[in-house]
Amino acid sequence: MTALASLGIPLSLAFTIGSFSVNGTMHHLLNLAGRYVAAGPERQSQFDGILVWIVLVSFAGTGFFRRRSLKNVILQEADCDRRIQNG
């Protein structure tokens, strides 16, 4: 759930750049793809790094805001494991 939410954040940003329309988003993604292919390897790796950082920061932020539910899931699984081990 956290991974899907963190991938949704950059997609939401792309949708925002496209003026909240599918046509606008596709137009901007086509423009981005053309510029990405035309760029040199240094610029492509720089863009890749920026994209990775955006996803990592959104993953960390999503995990931070979901920390209570994640903690509950971890504790429930640990409790279930103890019950199985004790019979």
* 28 vs 53: CA distance, rounded Å: 21
What is the residue-wise DSSP string for 9-78? HHHHHHHHHTTTSHHHHHHHHHHHHHHHHHS-HHHHHHHHHHHHHHHHHHHHHHHHHTHHHHHHHHHHHH
Q: Give CA–CA dist 3/58, Å, rounded.
A: 9
Per residue in 46-81, pLDDT (tens digit) is 999 999 999 999 999 998 998 888 888 888 877 777
CA–CA distance from 62 to each of 10, 15, 55, 71 (Å)?
A: 12, 19, 10, 13
Q: Which pLDDT band holds residue 87 (cuts at 50, 70, 90)?
A: low
pLDDT given for residue 12 in this prediction: 92
Judge if pTM exceeds 0.85: no
